[in-house]
Chain A
Amino acid sequence: MNREAYEAVIGLEVHTHLLTRSKLFCGCSTTFGAEPNANVCPICMGMPGVLPVFNRRVAELAIRTGLAAHCTIAPYSIFDRKSYFYPDLPKGYQISQYETPICKGGYIDLPANGDSEPRRIRLTRIHIEEDAGKNIHGESASLVDFNRSGVPLIEIVSEPDLRSAEDAGAYLRQLRAILRYVDASDGKMEEGSFRCDCNVSVRKRGAKEYGVRTEIKNLNSFRFVEDAIEYEIGRQIEIVESGGKVPQETLLWDSARKETRPMRSKEYANDYRYFPEPDLPPLVIPPAMVEQVRASMPELPADRRARYVREGLTEYEAGVLTADREVADYFEGVLPGLKNRKSAANWVMTEVLRVAHDSGKALGDAVPPASEVGALLRMIEEQKISLNAAKTAFAAMVKSGKGAESTIAERGLAQVSDERAIAAACDQVLAAEPAKVAEYRAGRDKLFGFFVGAVMKAMGGKANPKVINETLRKKLAG
């Protein structure tokens, strides 16, 4: 297969739950993991006679997302009914937006990464719609839970600007970061609150027309997205190279067999018969509301990144710290009272993130509170502890959940900087090794390290190395 001769063209449609307390059209809770059919009411169950009532917060969060992605916010948009039959769709139609989405256009910038250039991925639109319930498949029957029915979603549609599986992964990570930054979504793919459908086609490099597009649905991890796209590109190229035509299909990713396969059900070969939702008047967004949302928005990742660089970090450091809002917030929680921003950044990037990653838990659950790490770093700056002692203390704090001061005290990790005590220890060591002292004074500079080590040992490892150094130099100089 001559892969290089072909170009992949990929567009992604991401559906994400918005962080609201209640559902889009009714007052049921959106909490994940409730008992089946606990968070349902006649409205989200589609009982006869019910009517939808719009949740204001959904508009606010959709607008926030649109602003963060540089979209145009539509001052006027309507809802439409999208009709199809499926057991988890109670009304037999989904209330969505068809011709008039709340946000149009926009883009997401993918930062430079290693050898790849920064890229701008254009968006087509963002619109609001309600989610369906969930089906659980048993041996001989399926079970339907409507807790998720009516939860608000936004669908974010990209232009087909992505060119590889890596692109797709980078785009999804950036999009998720943005959503988490503006508190529109928690982006938890495992909980189903961030789902991705991929449109994939291939064409000969340089060709103007698009090839036949397949759609891979319901991918619920970044890994699956990348694997599925990678596989599908290969599959399509093989077909085209051998003179065949790629059938236009809707596919699923079989992660066990590592291949895409067509969806069996007829449900998706559908005529959705969109028409304007008669039960909802138009959604009017006055400019004042957009400005209000803009003013209340948290700082965006790109802005935060730029600020960190202005404040003295490198692009790389700023990039790592702002990749996830939680990490950036944590970093800023560590900073107060510290003089050395770089070492704080370094500590978070190495010690903190390592522990968090290894634990597999969320940052908040895996590591001590930012204020405690800040206290620890302050002690280093004030030379109350050595760097090594701090690392030991940190590991202990992760396990015990105790604070910095108490950990240092309990384990006696405080550094001794008392010059007299150190001077006394130096005298002791030098007096015990007259031969070596003579050799050093004769020119064997390497022995300095030996003396430092001996003094440190004599002080039980707790002396301030800087003071040891200074004191020894003075004394050895005679």
Chain B
Amino acid sequence: MPSELHKLTIAEASAKLRKREVSALELTRDCLERIAASEPKLNAFITVCEKEAVEQARQADARLAAGDAPALCGIPLGIKDIYATKGVRTTCASRILENFVPPFDATVIERLRAEGAVFVGKTNMDEFAMGSSTENSAFGPTLNPHDTERVAGGSSGGSAAAVAAHECLGALGTDTGGSIREPASFCGVVGLKPTYSRVSRYGVVAYASSLDQVGPFAKSVRDAAIILRTLAGKDPRDSTCSARAVPDYERALAGDAKGLRIGVPKEFFVEGMQPEVEKAVRAALKSYESIGASTVEISLPHTGYAIAAYYLVATAEASANLARYDGIRFGLRASAEDNIALNEITRAEGFGAEVKRRIMLGTFALSAGYYDAYYLKGQKVRTLIRNDFERAFEKCDLIVTPVAPTTAFKLGEKMNDPLTMYLSDIFTISVNLAGLPGMSIPCGYDSNHLPIGMQLIAPPFAEETILRAGDAFERTGAFKSR
């Protein structure tokens, strides 16, 4: 009988592993088989780490046998190829890092290793996290498990699809403008972006340093809480990482939505949205009301300016973060007679079109004579957006919105005009600019059976509120995502 171990949640698998009903090796092997079967269709992984995963699973079994069983011990996870994994190539889905093997682990990777987690592979993404569809990968797009003619979303499309297709039980992504939440919504899984500075960025290849954040994909809110609990917390190697104590996020789930004040921003229900998306989110709000939450209309007046501000600030930071790819110490190197040509040709050959576009825009936004009008202006509007949220949270504990204006679009549909692609970030981007935590949780399907996600946004460091509310929604059974 074919095994269904890959369909377990982390909580379920962990319980079985601890009771020794199933071994870590069996679980990992099952996921690897699932990967082998699914990958030709999905392309969710850039590198499958079969040997390493089996070895990690064996070590996990030894620990489990000795009674040492942290929650993630023996759990197969997918790792977005933006995380430095020692000894395993880390490409960021770019030709320029195609053969780069880091000599160090990212902090969160170290933490997961210490718990005994198993890394089944490095997942596909938009190159250097720049994109909303994983179509900007040098290794081909990742397809949506619900409909392989459609995108999985991006930039963490590989991780989202891998979890949705049960290739692994959970995965790591990163989110700079929506890159965890949007693919989570498109693939029908839970995707959490914590508060900026909640999780260490050391070893996470930088796109936009003041916006990037590490976060999990999972099949349930409980699973997301379990992963976050391991990832979060102070790291002396990241000067921007918060020293705040890390609550036991799983414990936060013991609660309900009674008395929860939910803010509904009017600017987030706009023309051009797919009607079914709006319908699903509004239905979810009704569910919340039925379990004791209340809703209140709020306003985030500067929402419409968020994309403009983001594409100035993020691209400016990115233009500097990507300057290190010069063909000298690692990565691709073109042949050239002088150093300027070496840099120019290496980068021309190594970077894809979207990366070049953002580097150019970012460089321009910082350049002499334009800094004030562009980069500085963007950072000032960012303050206004942050203030919007601060004011809104005086009236509510949680803000609920759609995640994306549509469900997963077709491959190639938005590739003609960059701006069209950028506009699909409209609901997620302001959350990064404000540094707030946000989670996407499935709340319905459209008529094409494509998943619809709703976004839960909370004040800084209020992940517990988000997790409790998300879990409460799951428990209503109003929508079954599996």
Chain A interface (Cβ < 8 Å from any Cβ of B): 42, 45-54, 81, 83, 85-87, 90-93, 144, 146, 266, 271, 273-275, 278-281
CB distance from B32 to the nearest CB of A (A): 27
A49 to B208 CA separation, bound complex (whole angstroms):
11
Question: Cβ of A278 and Cβ of B317 under 8 Å apart?
Answer: yes
* Option from A86, A87, A144, A280 in Cβ contact (under 8 Å) with B239: A280
Given known pairs A271-B368, A273-B367, the reply for A48 and B323 (CB within 8 Å) is no
How many of chain B's residues have a CB under 8 angstroms from any CB in A?
44
Question: Cβ of B324 and Cβ of A90 under 8 Å apart?
Answer: yes
Question: Cβ of B239 and Cβ of A54 under 8 Å apart?
Answer: yes
Chain B interface (Cβ < 8 Å from any Cβ of A): 83-84, 90, 92, 97, 100, 102-104, 106, 201-206, 208-210, 236-240, 316-317, 319-320, 322-324, 326, 328-330, 339-340, 343, 363, 366-368, 371, 375
Question: Cβ of A50 and Cβ of B202 under 8 Å apart?
Answer: yes
Given known pairs A42-B102, A273-B363, A273-B371, the reply for A48 and B205 (CB within 8 Å) is yes
Residues of chain A within 8 A (CB-CB) of B209 are 278-279
Residues of chain B within 8 A (CB-CB) of A51 are 201-202, 237-240
Residues of chain B within 8 A (CB-CB) of A279 are 209, 239-240
Given known pairs A49-B84, A273-B363, the reply for A144 and B240 (CB within 8 Å) is no
Question: Cβ of A48 and Cβ of B371 under 8 Å apart?
Answer: no
Question: Cβ of B326 and Cβ of A85 under 8 Å apart?
Answer: yes
Instruction: From B84, B100, B320, name the one whose CB has the most chain A CB atoms within 10 angstroms.
Output: B320
Apart from A47-B329, A48-B205, what 10 extra A-B contacts exist at CB < 8 Å? A48-B92, A48-B97, A49-B84, A49-B206, A50-B202, A51-B201, A54-B239, A83-B366, A278-B208, A281-B239
CB distance from A43 to the nearest CB of B (A): 8
* Option from B106, B317, B326, B329 in Cβ contact (under 8 Å) with A49: B106
CB distance from A286 to the nearest CB of B (A): 18
* Option from A83, A87, A144 in Cβ contact (under 8 Å) with B320: A83
Interface of A is mostly: loop
Residues of chain A within 8 A (CB-CB) of B206 are 48-49
CB distance from A434 to the nearest CB of B (A): 94
14 contacts between A and B (CB under 8 A): A48-B90, A48-B205, A48-B330, A49-B106, A49-B201, A49-B204, A83-B323, A85-B323, A90-B329, A91-B324, A273-B367, A273-B371, A275-B317, A278-B240
Residues of chain A within 8 A (CB-CB) of B106 are 49
Interface pairs A-B: 7 shortest CB-CB: A92-B323, A278-B209, A273-B366, A278-B210, A48-B205, A49-B203, A46-B324
CB distance from A133 to the nearest CB of B (A): 10
Question: Cβ of B84 and Cβ of A48 under 8 Å apart?
Answer: yes
- Closest residue of chain A to B235 (Cβ to Cβ) is A51
CB distance from B235 to the nearest CB of A (A): 9
* Option from B100, B205, B324, B366 in Cβ contact (under 8 Å) with A275: B366
A266 to B340 CA separation, bound complex (whole angstroms):
9
Question: Cβ of B92 and Cβ of A53 under 8 Å apart?
Answer: no
CB distance from B382 to the nearest CB of A (A): 12
A369 to B444 CA separation, bound complex (whole angstroms):
85
Question: Cβ of B202 and Cβ of A275 under 8 Å apart?
Answer: no
Question: Cβ of B236 and Cβ of A81 under 8 Å apart?
Answer: no
Question: Cβ of B323 and Cβ of A91 under 8 Å apart?
Answer: yes
CB distance from B372 to the nearest CB of A (A): 11
- Closest residue of chain B to A41 (Cβ to Cβ) is B104
Given known pairs A273-B363, A278-B210, A281-B240, the reply for A49 and B205 (CB within 8 Å) is yes
CB distance from B237 to the nearest CB of A (A): 6
- Closest residue of chain A to B369 (Cβ to Cβ) is A271
A351 to B346 CA separation, bound complex (whole angstroms):
62
Question: Cβ of A144 and Cβ of B210 under 8 Å apart?
Answer: no
Given known pairs A51-B238, A53-B239, the reply for A275 and B320 (CB within 8 Å) is yes
A278 to B238 CA separation, bound complex (whole angstroms):
11
Question: Cβ of A275 and Cβ of B371 under 8 Å apart?
Answer: yes
CB distance from B205 to the nearest CB of A (A): 4
- Closest residue of chain B to A45 (Cβ to Cβ) is B329
Given known pairs A47-B330, A49-B205, the reply for A81 and B320 (CB within 8 Å) is yes
CB distance from A396 to the nearest CB of B (A): 55
Residues of chain B within 8 A (CB-CB) of A53 are 236-237, 239
Residues of chain A within 8 A (CB-CB) of B208 are 278
Residues of chain A within 8 A (CB-CB) of B210 are 278
A280 to B324 CA separation, bound complex (whole angstroms):
18
CB distance from A265 to the nearest CB of B (A): 9
Question: Cβ of B343 and Cβ of A85 under 8 Å apart?
Answer: yes
A237 to B440 CA separation, bound complex (whole angstroms):
71
- Closest residue of chain A to B363 (Cβ to Cβ) is A273
A53 to B235 CA separation, bound complex (whole angstroms):
11
A45 to B208 CA separation, bound complex (whole angstroms):
20
- Closest residue of chain B to A48 (Cβ to Cβ) is B205
A274 to B209 CA separation, bound complex (whole angstroms):
15
Residues of chain B within 8 A (CB-CB) of A48 are 84, 90, 92, 97, 100, 102, 205-206, 324, 330
* Option from A46, A52, A83, A93 in Cβ contact (under 8 Å) with B329: A46
Instruction: From A90, A92, A93, name the one whose CB has the most chain B CB atoms within 10 angstroms.
Output: A92
Residues of chain A within 8 A (CB-CB) of B367 are 271, 273
Residues of chain B within 8 A (CB-CB) of A271 are 367-368
Residues of chain A within 8 A (CB-CB) of B97 are 48
CB distance from B122 to the nearest CB of A (A): 13
A91 to B209 CA separation, bound complex (whole angstroms):
14
Question: Cβ of B100 and Cβ of A93 under 8 Å apart?
Answer: no
